[in-house]
Amino acid sequence: MLIRHGGDLTENDVTPRDVYLRRRDFMSGLIGGGLAMAGGVAANAQAATGLKGVASPYSTTETPTGRADITGYNNFYEFGLDKEDPARNAGSLTTSPWTVKIDGHCNKPGTYDIGDFLRGNPLQQRIYRLRCVEGWSMVIPWLGVPLADLLKKYEPTSKARFVAFETLHRPSEMPGQRRPVLDWPYREGLRLDEAMNPLTIMAVGLYGESLPNQNGAPMRLVVPWKYGFKSIKSVVRISFVEAQPRTAWNDSAPREYGFYSNVNPAVDHPRWSQATERRIGEFRRRETLMFNGYGEQVAGMYRGLDLKKNF
């Protein structure tokens, strides 16, 4: 559901440049690991600002939101409840080393270093300029890889109907986790077909740079036809499961936050309309588009499903 930040708690960012450049032992892992990218990455592993990729055919031609807004105004409750808190507090997060646990109904479970998780051929990082909606909307130039390309490497079995995700749980570095705002760690989930849709990506950067901590470093999910809280950050576990997984906001407030959380102007949040949205940098509100404008790519997955009941 569409998120706003107000007096009631709902699910509703700028790091100094040296933090960007310091962080990326992770990027060294990607580069040294041989992640294939058309055009390549800067040969110098220290040049964390030189990320490149193949342009995605799904990118919008709309003007991207300014980098300062993308990195300075966001939700990451693990670092605080205010939209500016993640940028203030996320510098404490250590993102190297980083491992991802793959388990559940798959033939190749295990715990993988992030470089091993992302490495593959013909895996390519791609540039996606995607619309993203929370209580506001942005156009973000992500750098990432199709989630499907990653998941296929672990060979999900016929029992895998859903994919569950977990965020890092490290209260010593994520001060928001010291408060019972949610049942930590943060959890999210998708149907397997949603996870395999080419619009679903695992992002590792934005604006040509490695992903800032406050935006979900070192990697985060991006599902652009769903409300922003579905795009879980700082992922450490991916599970192939048979039953619909528990998700953080659906557990916390099931009347307000459904499992699907598709952008839908016809389904109001119990406390406000979702028919319009505010694009960062614009004064006037604009009409919310069904599936955030990505209906051509995703509507077929929901044919015959009541999207008001299954919100």
pLDDT tens per residue, range 185-217: 999 999 999 999 999 999 999 998 999 999 999
Q: Tokens standing for 90?
A: 């996320």
CA distance 204 to 162: 23
Classify residue 290: in a domain, yes or no.
yes
For range 2-25, the mean pLDDT: 34
Classify residue 45: in a domain, yes or no.
yes
Q: How far is CA 296 from CA 29, 153, 190, 227, 292, in A?
A: 36, 27, 19, 18, 11
Give the model's confidence band at 15: pLDDT under 50 very low, under 70 low, under 90 confident, else very high: very low
Classify residue 309: in a domain, yes or no.
no
The residues that bridge with 37 in the sheet, in sequence order, are: none
CA distance 216 to 114: 14
Classify residue 178: in a domain, yes or no.
yes
- Provide Rg for the chain, Cα atoms: 18
For range 241-270, the mean pLDDT: 96
CATH code assigned at 56: 3.90.420.10
Q: What is the pTM of this model?
A: 0.84
Classify residue 188: in a domain, yes or no.
yes
| Strands of 99-104's sheet in order across | 110-113, 99-104, 235-241, 162-167, 187-191
- 35-93 residue pLDDT tens: 222 222 222 222 233 456 788 888 999 999 999 999 999 999 999 999 999 999 999 99
Question: How many structural domains compose the chain?
Answer: 1
CA distance 264 to 302: 13
CA distance 292 to 138: 11
The amino acid at residue 7 is G
Q: What is the pLDDT of residue 39?
A: 23
- 130-168 residue pLDDT tens: 888 877 899 999 999 999 999 999 999 999 999 999 999
Q: What is the pLDDT of residue 51?
A: 55
CB-based contact 252:262 (threshold 8 Å): no
Q: What is the pLDDT of residue 134?
A: 74
Classify residue 310: in a domain, yes or no.
no
Classify residue 307: in a domain, yes or no.
no
Q: What is the pLDDT of residue 47?
A: 29
Average pLDDT, the chain: 84
The per-residue b/e assignment along 137-176, b for 16 or more CB within 10 angstroms, e otherwise, is: bbbbbbbbbbbbbbbeebebeeebebbbbbbbebeebbeb
Domain boundaries, position 187 = 17-302
